[in-house]
């Protein structure tokens, strides 16, 4: 067996190994036999990513791209690494390159949206997350929808939020997260009583979720109802919310 065929055999063993460390060792050997094979670097990049060895994974992405710059998955993986290391502008840059090559991958748009959100570019967040959901309408990625609602809240798009919530209701009506999102929307419209009713539904599902009671306290402050806020802070504090404890101490005792 020549070096190239042996390297591909080692690559196959790496893909079927029982843990990433073993896979990386096998790929090290494969690369020593065939150092110009882009596939070996890209596969090792994914295993380094799985181990959260960001620098090593990024380096292998670059080595693979040096041999073929039109690999959308490598540009995309670099974007994900940047996102995980908090380099959001770099994440956007690399994910844009991935999208130019492969524009039907919802993950690229989703992480672009997240990265834009982290640098306060909310209009771009909306465009990218909406693209992700359009490409994958059956997605169970509720986090994407939460980010979308959050971005629309921040740009004041109440009509858009209503459309998102209508979409979400078909998928997640009856879940606590849905009622919390709906409450956020109603708060934006200053429909505070209605927001409290939605949070009542959320509490019926997650009765020990401190964040929901803390959110209710905020609504009562908007309504200038200190007594109501104190009751909610007390409950949230008893469930471990330290900020609620501090608010109760400063305003209710």
Query: How many independent structural domains does the chain possess?
Result: 2
Residues above pLDDT 70, as percent of the chain: 91
pLDDT at 141 over 80: no
Domain-located, residue 213: yes
> Minimal CA–CA distance to 88: which of 63, 124, 136, 52?
124
| Residues 49, 142: Cα–Cα separation, whole Å | 24
Span 3-30, pLDDT tens digits: 888 999 999 999 999 899 999 999 999 9
Domain-located, residue 198: no
Whether the CB-CB separation of 239 and 231 falls below 8 Å is answered with no
Give 108's Cβ-side CA count (13 Å radius).
Answer: 21
Q: What is the pLDDT of residue 145?
A: 73
Q: At what angle do helices 210-222 and 192-205 cross, to 10 degrees?
A: 170
- Average pLDDT value for residue range 122-131: 91
Residue ranges making up the domain that contains 242: 208-253
| Residues 192, 183: Cα–Cα separation, whole Å | 8
Domain boundary, last residue among 9, 44, 62: 62
Q: At what angle do helices 72-84 and 54-67 cross, to 10 degrees?
A: 160
Residues 6+ away with beta carbon under 8 Å from 62: 78
Span 211-240, pLDDT tens digits: 889 999 999 999 999 999 999 999 999 988
Domain-located, residue 121: no
Domain-located, residue 149: no
Out of 36-50, 99-113, 142-156, 187-201, least confident range:
142-156
Domain-located, residue 10: yes
Span 63-101, pLDDT tens digits: 999 999 999 999 999 999 999 898 999 999 999 999 999
* DSSP notation for 28-41: HHHHHH-TT-HHHH
Domain-located, residue 249: yes
pLDDT at 149 over 80: no
Whether the CB-CB separation of 210 and 194 falls below 8 Å is answered with no
Q: pTM score, two decimals?
A: 0.68
If 0-12 CB within 10 Å is exposed, 13-18 middle and 19+ buried, where does residue 115 land?
A: buried
Domain-located, residue 32: yes
CATH of the domain at 48: 1.25.40.10
Considering only residues 168 and 13, tell me which one the structure prediction assigns the higher pLDDT. Answer: 13
pLDDT at 180 over 90: no
Domain boundary, last residue among 14, 30, 62: 62
Residue 59's CB is within 10 A of a number of other CB atoms, namely: 15
Domain-located, residue 24: yes
Give 167's Cβ-side CA count (13 Å radius).
Answer: 21
> Minimal CA–CA distance to 179: which of 159, 194, 157?
194
Specify the residue for token string 């974007």: 79
Confidence bin at 170 (pLDDT 50/70/90): low
Out of 103-107, 131-135, 179-183, 217-221, least confident range:
179-183
Domain boundary, last residue among 62, 85, 107: 62
Q: At what angle do helices 210-222 and 242-251 cross, to 10 degrees?
A: 40
Residue 32's CB is within 10 A of a number of other CB atoms, namely: 12
| Residues 102, 92: Cα–Cα separation, whole Å | 15
Out of 85-89, 126-130, 139-143, 183-187, least confident range:
139-143
120: left (phi over 0), alpha (psi -120 to 50) or beta: left
């Amino acid at each position: 067996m020549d070096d190239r065929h042996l390297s591909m055999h080692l690559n196959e063993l790496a893909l079927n190994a029982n843990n990433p460390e073993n896979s990386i060792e096998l790929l090290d050997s494969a690369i020593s036999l065939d150092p110009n094979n882009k596939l070996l670097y890209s596969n090792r990049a994914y295993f380094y990513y799985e181990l959260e060895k960001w620098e090593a994974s990024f380096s292998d992405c670059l080595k693979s791209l040096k041999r073929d710059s039109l690999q959308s998955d490598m540009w995309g993986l670099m974007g994900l690494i940047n996102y995980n290391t908090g380099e959001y502008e770099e994440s956007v840059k690399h994910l844009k390159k991935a999208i130019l090559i492969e524009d039907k991958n919802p993950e690229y748009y989703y992480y672009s949206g997240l990265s834009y959100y982290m640098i306060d570019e909310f209009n771009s967040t909306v465009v990218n997350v909406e693209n992700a959901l359009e490409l994958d309408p059956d997605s169970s990625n509720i986090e994407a929808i939460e980010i979308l609602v959050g971005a629309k809240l921040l740009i004041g798009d109440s009509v858009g939020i209503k459309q998102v919530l209508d979409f979400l209701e078909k998928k997640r009506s009856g879940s606590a997260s849905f009622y919390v999102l709906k409450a956020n929307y109603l708060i934006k419209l200053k429909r505070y009583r209605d927001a409290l009713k939605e949070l009542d539904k959320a509490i019926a599902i997650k009765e020990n979720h401190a964040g929901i009671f803390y959110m209710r306290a905020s609504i009562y402050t908007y309504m200038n109802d200190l007594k109501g806020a104190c009751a909610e802070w007390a409950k949230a504090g008893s469930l471990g919310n330290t900020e609620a404890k501090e608010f109760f101490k400063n305003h209710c005792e």
